[in-house]
Structure 1
Amino acid sequence: MRLANLISWTSRSEHRAPRTVAREPNCLFCMRDDTSVNTIQRENDTCYVRYDNYPAVDGHVEVVPKRHVVSYFDLTPREVLDAHALLVESQVELNSTHRPDGYTIGINEGRAAGRTIDHLHIHLVPRHYGDVADPRGGIRQVLPGPSPDDWTGKFSADPV
């Protein structure tokens, strides 16, 4: 989406987040005030950041909309901007506290993609050289496909 279209999209009043926040009573992410299941790092008007209960690595956090919403594609423009702002703020803090060499940012959009909780959450995972034997391909490793060795060549970041 072009910047002008994004600005127009975000300024439409019908796309603003509702004032009341809908919650589902048995949803882990809707129970954000329950400190026995959620450790909140920071928040803004429409989203919050929590530490993952089963982190892939130290510092693994999730950005979660306060409104009960299942799909990233159902977020309002305001929620998208607020989620992005929290990703950036969390990245700055993680740079300071964990000093990662990179990040994996991920959403399991749909059950077929691995979603297990039906409330959108965006993973921010700090990565370090050596945390996996061969990180090449990143998310491409979640499905069978060609080996990263097959990609080496003129379009690869690896020297030929």
Structure 2
Amino acid sequence: MKPAMAQEHEAEPGTGKCLFCQIHDREVNDLLFTGEEIYVRMDNFPAAEGHVEVVPIRHVASYFDLTSSEHAEVYVLIKRAQQYIEERFQPDGYTIGVNEGRAAGRTIDHLHIHLIPRYEGDVPDPRGGIRHVLPGTDPDEWLA
């Protein structure tokens, strides 16, 4: 039996089911591509137009627990997803991220890698990128 703490974050609210394990349920997953071990879906609450998630089919919480073949397929499908986004949305850049553990903001214990297109002007000052998830990351202070 899994610890209670893990169970509360694995289920989609109100369903008791893991959101990312419901691969073929069109009510919760808008699939783009499906590989042997990995799939790509549109994010349900996109941070930017074209935001996708790269997800293992196997229920696994940590990026560090992926098998070698899953890692290889993540690489292939994240490149394919980037090409899809490039053709349809023409972003100016990308942010790629994983919330690894609750301290990093993970809310569902099924690995999902965010590929977020970025656009000039989407934030006033993008310098430092993902460093801004923590306090004390003002890029102007790096020059001092």
TM-score, structure 2 as length reference = 0.87
Percent identical pairs in the alignment equals: 58
Query: Is 1:32 the equivalent of 2:23?
Result: yes
Alpha-carbon distance in structure 2 between the residues aligned to 1:54 and 1:118: 17
Tell me which structure has the larger Cα radius of gyration: 1
Query: Which one of 78, 90, 94 corresponds to residue 99 of structure 1?
Result: 90
| Structure 2 runs not aligned, ≥5 long | 1-10
Q: Residue 135 of structure 1 aligns with which residue?
A: 126
Map 1:9-158 to 2 at 5 A. Answer: 26-152=17-143
How many aligned residue pairs are there? 130
Moved beyond 4 Å, runs of 4+ = none
Shift of 1:151: 2.3
SS of equivalent to 1:78: helix
Coordinate RMSD, CA, aligned: 1.4
Contact persistence 2:128–2:137 (CA under 8 A): no
Asked which structure has the greater RCO (Cα within 8 Å, sep 6+), the reply is 2
SS of equivalent to 1:49: strand
SS of equivalent to 1:34: coil
Matching residue's letter, 2:127: R
SS of equivalent to 1:83: helix
Shift of 1:136: 0.5
TM-score, structure 1 as length reference = 0.78
